[in-house]
Amino acid sequence: MKRCVIVGGAKIGRYDRILPRLRKDDYLIYCDGGLGHREALGREPDLIIGDFDSYDNPQLDIETIVLPCVKDDTDSAYAVREGIRRGFDEFLLLGAAGGRMDHTLGNLSLLIMLERKGKKAVLLDDYSEMEIVSREPAFVEDRFSFFSLLNISGLAEGVEIKNAKYPLHNAGISCDYQYGISNEVLPGKTAEIRVGEGELLLIRIFRD
């Protein structure tokens, strides 16, 4: 199954980090202002979705879903749901973080929604890559400068971190005490992260 790549309208400054992550067989959904990244990404959309309040509908000969301006879902949330409806199990979100904080937080919640539906999802921005750690372990190579574990939903318990500067064993991380920020992988090692119950947002920070 192809991967669904959703391109939102947040600023992208490091296309050099984005472009190597794209696959030839990716299915690209451009959301409204995300069309502003079309030339730099060098990839035509397979589907366009938006209410076109931030970017003019280009009227391309490409499948386009025009949304009303008054709606519950953001354009990106609708695109994620559409990707699920079309049977995708893997998602990459681009142009989904930075700029307006409300949209960034809303897009992070899409990672939780996808995780709960059994989908694999990564959100990539200029500085980091983000994913939810829940049922399956996650790993961080020492090519990343830092990594952080943040609770953005409920209580996470049974948290294990191995091969890191600040290891954890059977720990709990709550939304009101975020002590899992700026950890480091031990040199030459790969950090291993497991969550017994709940969900955590894993942020891997790129080296400059």
What's the fold here for domain 4-126? Rossmann fold (3.40.50)
pLDDT along the chain (208 residues), means of 10: 94 96 97 95 96 88 93 93 98 94 94 96 97 96 96 94 98 96 97 97 95
Give me the residues paired with residue 7 across strands. 30, 94
Architecture of domain 133-206: Sandwich (2.60)
Sequence ranges of the domains in the chain: 4-126, 133-206
pLDDT at 19: 97
Instruction: Please report, rounded to a whole number, the percentage of residues in the chain having pLDDT higher than 70.
Output: 100
Does the model's pTM come out above 0.85? yes
Model confidence pLDDT, tens digit, residues 80-101: 999 999 999 999 999 999 888 9
What are all long-range contacts of 176-182, with beta carbons under 8 Å and residues at least 24 apart? 178/150, 178/151, 180/148, 180/149, 180/150, 180/151, 181/148, 181/149, 181/150, 182/146, 182/148
Please report the DSSP string for 3-69 in residue order.
Answer: PEEEE-SS----HHHHGGG--TT-EEEEEGGGGGGHHHHT---SEEEE--SSS-----SS-EEEPPS
